[in-house]
Structure 1
Amino acid sequence: MTEYAATLYGINNTLYRAGTPVNEPHALARLRVIEDEYEFASTTVGQTVAMGVPIPAGMQLVGGFLYFDALATSTTIAVGNDTDNDEYLAATSTASAGGAYLNLIASMGEPFTTAEQVTVTLAGATATGTIKLVLFVAGY
């Protein structure tokens, strides 16, 4: 085994160095991209949009981005699922055009036990404009 100058090791690197098998979704997994977009047309507050195909059981969400037009003053968008509308990104202002990383790290990286439909929820004010969601999923 090649030795590196590191003095600290991540969980999977520690398992690997000890000769312990590493769970495949956590190491050497295939990375896939799920992408979808939606055009809000005077869409009212509280609307939820299912984005992309459901992530299959056994796969894991490892990151993503949300891009958006300036939807309207006071608008926010959260990214989540059917049970928690801000599981992956807490309410983020969309008053100005921009983007946001899915940043709730505690919600990412573990394989799903059932299929996971990612959703985007509008809050704050009626919105007009385009959003685009890009998800990175890993697994078998």
Structure 2
Amino acid sequence: MELESLKPKVSGLLADTNREVTDRLNDVCKLLQESVEYYDWVGFYFKNGDKEELKLRTYVGAPTDHEIIPFGKGICGQVAVSNENFVVPDVQAQDNYIACSINVKSEIVIPLFKNGENIGQIDIDSDTPDPFTEKDERFLEFVNQEVAKIL
């Protein structure tokens, strides 16, 4: 599915104030995973209070043991420190990669900012080698901007 066509759907799901924020985030995860062929695992991590770690808030895809990720560890932990997008075409080539599943071939992590502060991220794993493009980055930045509005 064309990423641009998902934007109004994302906005609509997030705008439903009759639902809890976590439920709306989960709806966005489901939409992305079901609509984009190579989005196999989609989740949102957020800074865990005052701790230097991320906590998984919601996701869709294979179960993960990585509900808490220390800053600096793995791709997600690196993004928490760098405040920059991280696209990994081949997870096997990363020294600091935390394996969630043997099927994962690539990953994209986009930081989520609220009032200029990195408060979390969207994390997407793919079982497809090197599928992520600049279009994915721009689209996921849009998703995070929409998410920030409801937090």
Query: TM-score normalised to the size of structure 2?
Result: 0.26
Higher helix share: 2
Which structure: larger Rg?
1
Higher strand share: 1
Higher relative contact order (CA 8 A, sep 6+): 1
Query: TM-score normalised to the size of structure 1?
Result: 0.27
